[in-house]
Chains A and B, each alone.
Chain A
Amino acid sequence: MASYNIKINGQTRSVEAGADTPMLWVLRDELDMKGTKFGCGIGQCGACTVHLNGNAVRSCQIPVSAVGENDITTIEGLSEKGDHPLQEAWKQHDVPQCGYCQAGQIMNAAALLNKNSNPSYQEIEDATHGNICRCGTYNKIKAAITTAAEQL
């Protein structure tokens, strides 16, 4: 066990954890931030997507000891009032079914829009291919990202 000071959503948080503990479980169990979801544990599904310095990463693959000074953003910190253009577009298109993958989908899409505020349909598909939605809401996810991009 060691102590780590980690920058999450603009705040420095102190946690005690084993060096190999994935950020996913530090967020969920140590910091009680349940928005980042556990899906597969091997970086295949994208449910645990967070931002590391603005880039979409799989928090199940990042040990707490590797975070260092880098900034982490989670779904809880994407916007102050839950009104990021993607969150608004998700509401507009009534995207979720079960809703479990959606925080990861939104974080993944937010990283895309950070880099490319006007993505083509092809670029949206390429950027979101790594995030599984078991309910199959892909039509609505793509439509919502398109809508959000139009707002930027």
Chain B
Amino acid sequence: MTIVKTQVNRRSFLKASALAGGGLMIGFSWACNPMEAERAAPKEWFDMNAFLSIADNGQVTIMSPNPEIGQNVKTSMPMIIAEELDIAWEDVIVKQAPLNSTTFQRQVAGGSQSIRQGWASLRMVGATTRQLMINTAAKEWGVDAAGLTTENGFVMNGRKKLSYGELASKAVGETIPEEVPLKDPKTFKIIGKSKTNVDMDDIVTGKPLFGVDYTADGMVYAAVMRPPAFGTKLKSFDDSEARKVNGVLDVITFDDNERPDQREIRGEKIAVIATNTWAAFKGKKALQAEWERSSRLESTTNHDRELNRLLNVSNSESLKRSDGDIKKAFAQADGTLERTYEAPFLPHNTLEPMNFFANVTEDKVLLAGPTQTPDWTQGRVAGLLKRERSTITCEMTRMGGGFGRRLYGDFALEAAAISDKIRKPVKVQFSREDDMMAGTYRPASKYKFRAAYKDGKITGYHLTGAGIQMGNATRENWFPAGGIENYKVESNNLNSNITTGAWRAPITNFLAIAEQSFFDELSKEMNVDAVQVRLDILERAKSNPVGSIDYEPEKMIGVIKLAAEKGNWSNPEAGVSKGFSCYYSHNTYVAEVADVTTENGQPKITKMTAAVDCGIVINPEAAINQIQGGVVDGIGHAMYGDFAFVDGAPQAANFDKFRLIRTKEAPKVDVHFVESLNDPTGLGEPSLPPAGGALANAIAGATGRRVYKIPFTKQDIAMG
């Protein structure tokens, strides 16, 4: 048993205790959990802390602190609290918490970190509340708390028991314990058992859950016309036809720039205000606007040239890491290989287009909608409107996908600026075209790999990355760092006026494809098994690392062996070409084996086997879902992701031009987790980076052709 000090979350307890001094009843009025239909409805709810209320009938409401984008945290975070609280999952009602930075930590959906960074504090919230129940029961019975246990929402004293529901009203005034015991993970009853998504019933019956569904009294709808190309701004416009559209209330310009220098480049935007979404869209189509150049008009052809140039720039700024002597390794090699890989910009294409609600009044601001960063967004809106943060409330809706796009609060700033100007509650709704053309794109990048080998071992490795606004486009201390004697990593950055940002597994979403494709081709050149090449490097990194490394070779070896075994790497089925790949990201290790067969002369991916080490698995079925989704996403964007700019204008605006992966193109994904009781690590992103590389390597085996460029389909690899 682990004893932990409760300090981390005392803040949330103390605040609630102060509020709830006299046994405050808080106003939850919803029906009880359908699974518990026979139980009496709760009469009173008692606020234990910011996360938890317990009803007199024993039901427990758990506030899920973080934004839900499909990564399942609205289910899995409450599971952790419920486990340590020691209650039956059937007694739990989950609610989405609003933004509250003083009581909740890191209310962000990003970096696959919600569970990893929430783990300790969520356990403590549950364990502390459990101890409160025990201490309260001890007083009731006049016994020592040390002799009491808990079970499924009851405090037990031999044959006597008191339910948490009976204890809740008395527990409210109890002193918060200084130290609490945590469960031994081996005894977990909720964690590690699949629990259905808590929003499942609402999802399958079409209840309003998402930002797009949000409404409020007196709400109007806004469609926004933005510059059609990066580097242009509004010159003039004619709204006479737009105003004739039935349902259009007004046409305004607004300024959502946070800084004067942005205003110079981006200018103002136009908003069509209407009584409904369709009228707003139609009104926008009827606008006549003229745009003028305000800065560079960039094109993919220019980016290509610049990135190619940067792949050959080597200086003190570009150098990220250097071990040994690269030049010597290449001079003494049996053989060398050099390959360059390239990937375009990508839009996120969440299926729910961007939208946000704002109601700006004289003294208050209400924001509501899908955001991965409610705290940051609140701060930016405060800055834009010159309001105190304390006057701004931010509610989170469920999100129809995030993938990084909803980290950026541009949509909320627009809604706030418009509502501030018209002083009405307003929802800004992007069309698909708006969404794809006003993105914060995955930046285009290129990588050049060089390797030297001697006596069947890699002796020299030199990677140069070049990306658009990526900062360091490499991960110099990750694999294969530490496993190769002579090792050099460099990276160069290209600035742009195209907005770029985090896209699911930032940087590694392409770096991994390039790296893992290179190792495959290198292994063939060396005539060594592709898995063995990786294991040799990892064994060196494990036993006698060159320099310092930021990953655990042992765990990578574990997933490689598991994937090789489960994916029949050594005994491929007849007619199947296998491709191998592995990658560490978001603190999680994933190895994948792709099966490609040939149908009618065309390669087709039929199966992907994934082995994953993410520590303890909280919610197994949902975890499988995350891994499958990441693999399908990785394959889809490697195959079809194609997004170019000409004179600052995106060349695709909807799904007729931008191809997303569909069901017949998605392989069966077979998922295997390494059994582990280690603290949990990331799950929403790590299965994506290795997928494209495994596919590329299997395609090479099936067709004899290597792919070096995203999308794979642009290189005449027609897929069945």
Contact = CB atoms under 8 A, between A and B. Distances in A.
Interface stretch (B4-12, B200-208, B313-321, B593-601): B200-208
B70 A135 contact: yes
B194 A141 contact: no
Contacts, number: 181
B210 interface: yes
A42 interface: yes
Contact of A128 (B278, B626, B663): B663
B380 interface: no
Contact of B401 (A74, A100, A103, A106): A100
Interface string A85-103: 0010011011111111111
A134 B503 CA distance: 13
A78 B205 CA distance: 8
Contacts of A133: 351, 663
A36 interface: yes
Contacts of A95: 625
A129 interface: yes
A138 B276 contact: no
Nearest to A94: B621
A136 B207 contact: no
A150 interface: no
Given A131-B662, A136-B636, 6 more contacts: A34-B212, A38-B212, A97-B629, A134-B401, A134-B403, A140-B628
Contacts of B403: 134
B200 A101 contact: no
A45 interface: yes
Majority SS at the chain A contact face: loop
Interface string B592-630: 000000000000000000000000000001100110111
Nearest to B430: A38
A7 interface: no
Contacts of B215: 32
Interface stretch (B336-344, B521-529, B652-660): B652-660
Max chain B CB contacts within 10 Å: which of A35, A91, A140? A35
Contact of A87 (B205, B276, B277, B278): B205
Contacts of B626: 97
B393 interface: no
B210 A100 contact: yes
A138 B246 contact: no
A28 interface: yes
Nearest to B212: A38
Interface residues of A, number: 60
A138 B661 CA distance: 10
The range of chain B's interface size is 35 or more
B87 interface: no
A141 B666 CA distance: 12
B654 A42 contact: yes
B326 to A, nearest CB: 39
A44 interface: yes
A97 B654 contact: no
Contacts of A96: 70, 197, 199-200, 203-204
A132 B197 contact: no
B400 interface: yes
Contact of B196 (A41, A76, A91): A91
A25 to B, nearest CB: 4
Interface string A110-126: 00000000000000011
A29 B370 CA distance: 19
A40 B398 CA distance: 19
B413 to A, nearest CB: 22
A102 B215 CA distance: 21
29 contacts: A1-B246, A18-B246, A18-B247, A34-B213, A37-B400, A38-B277, A39-B432, A41-B654, A42-B654, A44-B654, A45-B351, A74-B206, A82-B204, A90-B203, A91-B196, A96-B199, A97-B70, A97-B71, A98-B350, A98-B352, A100-B352, A100-B400, A125-B664, A129-B663, A130-B662, A131-B663, A134-B660, A139-B666, A139-B668
Contacts of A30: 276
The 6 closest A-B pairs by CB, nearest first: A35-B206, A136-B632, A100-B400, A98-B70, A75-B206, A97-B70
A18 B278 CA distance: 10
Nearest to B72: A97
Interface in B253-285: 276-279, 281-282
B57 interface: no
B410 interface: no
A45 B213 CA distance: 18
A110 B70 CA distance: 24
Interface in B323-376: 349-353
